[in-house]
Amino acid sequence: QQQVKQSPQSLIVQKGGISIINCAYENTAFDYFPWYQQFPGKGPALLIAIRPDVSEKKEGRFTISFNKSAKQFSLHIMDSQPGDSATYFCAASLAPGKLTFGQGTILTVHP
Amino acid sequence: GAVVSQHPSRVICKSGTSVKIECRSLDFQATTMFWYRQFPKQSLMLMATSNEGSKATYEQGVEKDKFLINHASLTLSTLTVTSAHPEDSSFYICSGGAGGRETQYFGPGTRLLVL
pLDDT in tens, A59-101: 999 999 999 999 999 999 999 999 999 999 999 998 888 899 9
Q: B36 to chain A: nearest residue by CA?
A: A99
Question: Rounded to whole angstroms, what are the CA distances from B14 to B18, B59, B84, B112, B114?
Answer: 9, 26, 8, 11, 6
Question: Rounded to whole angstroms, what are the CA distances from B6 to A12, B108, B111?
Answer: 32, 6, 10
For the stretch B16-70, pLDDT in tens is 999 999 999 998 888 899 999 999 989 999 999 999 888 999 999 999 999 999 9
Q: B3 to chain A: nearest residue by CA?
A: A45
Interface residues of chain B, partner chain A, Cβ below 8 Å: 1, 4, 6, 32, 34, 42-46, 49, 93, 95-97, 100-109, 111
